[in-house]
C-alpha cells in the first residue's frame, strides 16, 4: 500500500480488508510515524494507524529498524510498515535488507511455514 505524504488522514476504507477470520499481511510506505515501530516522533497518521491496527488485532512486524533514509535531512525513520493478523504473524520472520540505491530499504518477510488450511490471495491497493 502507498499513502502519499501530502495526503491527509487515511481513507475510511483503510485496512477494511482486515476482517475477523481472514489471514492478512499489510505492507506499505504509509508515511505514518510512531515511536512504537521505530520513528523518532509520532504524527497523526501514525496514531491513526496504531489505533486501526489495535482495533483489528493486527501486529506490527517492525522492530525499530529504519526503512527509509532522507538524504535531504540525513534522518532515518521506519516509514515502511508491515503488519499481519496474529495467525500469520507467528509464522513469519521480518527483516530489513541492505541498501539497493533507493531512499527506501527493501523489507523481507519470510514465511516459516503455512498454517494448515490457509491460502493467501494478493491484493494491492494504492490510496491517493
pLDDT digit string, tens, across residues 90-128: 999 999 998 888 888 999 999 887 656 555 555 544 443
Question: How much is the pLDDT for 99?
Answer: 84
- The residue whose grid cell reads 494478493 is 122
How distant, in Å, are the alpha carbons of 56, 73, 110, 116, 118 from that of 49? 11, 24, 23, 29, 26
Which tens digit of pLDDT belongs to each residue from 47-64? Answer: 989 998 888 889 999 999
pTM of this structure: 0.79
Q: What is the pLDDT of residue 121?
A: 54
CA 33/CA 1 separation, integer angstroms: 15
Amino acid at each position: 500500500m502507498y499513502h502519499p505524504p501530502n495526503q491527509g488522514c487515511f481513507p475510511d476504507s483503510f485496512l477494511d480488508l482486515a476482517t475477523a477470520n481472514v489471514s492478512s499481511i499489510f505492507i506499505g510506505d504509509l508515511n505514518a510515524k510512531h515511536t512504537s515501530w521505530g520513528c523518532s516522533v509520532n504524527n497523526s497518521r501514525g496514531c491513526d494507524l496504531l489505533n486501526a491496527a489495535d482495533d483489528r488485532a493486527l501486529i506490527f512486524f517492525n522492530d525499530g529498524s529504519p526503512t527509509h533514509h532522507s538524504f535531504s535531512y540525513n534522518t532515518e525513520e521506519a516509514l515502511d510498515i508491515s503488519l499481519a493478523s496474529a495467525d500469520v504473524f507467528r509464522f513469519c520472520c521480518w527483516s530489513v535488507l541492505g541498501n539497493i540505491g533507493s531512499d527506501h530499504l527493501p523489507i523481507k518477510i519470510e514465511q516459516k511455514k503455512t498454517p494448515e488450511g490457509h491460502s493467501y490471495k494478493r491484493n494491492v491497493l494504492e490510496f491517493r
